[in-house]
Chains A and B, each alone.
Chain A
């Protein structure tokens, strides 16, 4: 089945130690998104790729970076995780950057713990 896969499902890192989360998709969608979801809060968009074009949300901290080496893969890099970065990180894909009621497909998420 076509899907969005996130690895690992659970990640523990130390304060200040760089960490990378990965996302892959078999849907061949041109847009990929990263959301951050803290406990009991709404998912919040960090950035997205439209094809190879990177689009950062204005309030996304510089500590968060992303890479998309090809259509199928997208990575979230946290350069120096702080305790406040502990959250669920959700990857999503869609067929076009303009929704026009287009559907976003989400992966299961990676839960990041910072010790």
Chain B
């Protein structure tokens, strides 16, 4: 069946550090892939998406590339800020549903 696996958190970084949050998936076919972010006290917001293999989604300095050969969609940012502290969810499209990973908490200190 369809599933998403994210790296365990929390991830703790200093401001301006490089960020990678790993995400791998299992799916039938080639679903669209998403990263959602949840800031404290708020709902989930779409951060970026990719609809086919080798697509790169990007937004607010974050990037992720749809890798079919490794079934991965790792999230990266070159220089994190304190305001990036949040929970990040990787997700894949599965018919009418989004299948989410468990989320990775990122904490950035100044």
Return the contact of B102 from the options A42, A55, A90, A105 (Cβ within 8 A): A42
Question: How many A residues have CB within 8 A of the partner chain?
Answer: 26
Interface string of A18-52 (1 = CB under 8 A from B): 00000000000000000000001111110010100
Query: Secondary structure of the B side of the interface?
Result: strand
**Does B46 touch A at the CB level, under 8 Å?**
yes
Flag A97-109 by CB within 8 Å of B: 1 or 0 each: 1111101111111
- Within residues 67 to 115 of chain A, which ones have a CB less than 8 A from any CB in chain B? 90, 92, 97-101, 103-109
Q: By the criterion of a CB under 8 Å from any partner CB, how many residues of chain B are at the interface?
A: 21
Question: B32 an interface residue at 8 Å Cβ cutoff?
Answer: yes
Cβ–Cβ < 8 Å partners of A62 in chain B = none
Q: Is there an interface contact between B97 and A45, defined as CB atoms closer than 8 Å? A: yes
Give bound CA distance, A28 to B98, whole Å.
20
| Residues of B near any A CB (own CB < 8 A) | 4, 32, 36, 41-46, 49, 51, 89, 93, 96-103
- Interface residues of A, Cβ cutoff 8 Å to B: 4, 6, 40-45, 48, 50, 55, 57, 90, 92, 97-101, 103-109
Q: Can you report 19 residue pairs joining A to B where beta carbons are below 8 Å apart?
A: A40-B103, A42-B4, A42-B103, A43-B98, A45-B96, A45-B97, A45-B98, A55-B96, A57-B97, A90-B43, A98-B96, A99-B32, A100-B32, A101-B93, A103-B49, A104-B98, A105-B43, A106-B43, A107-B43
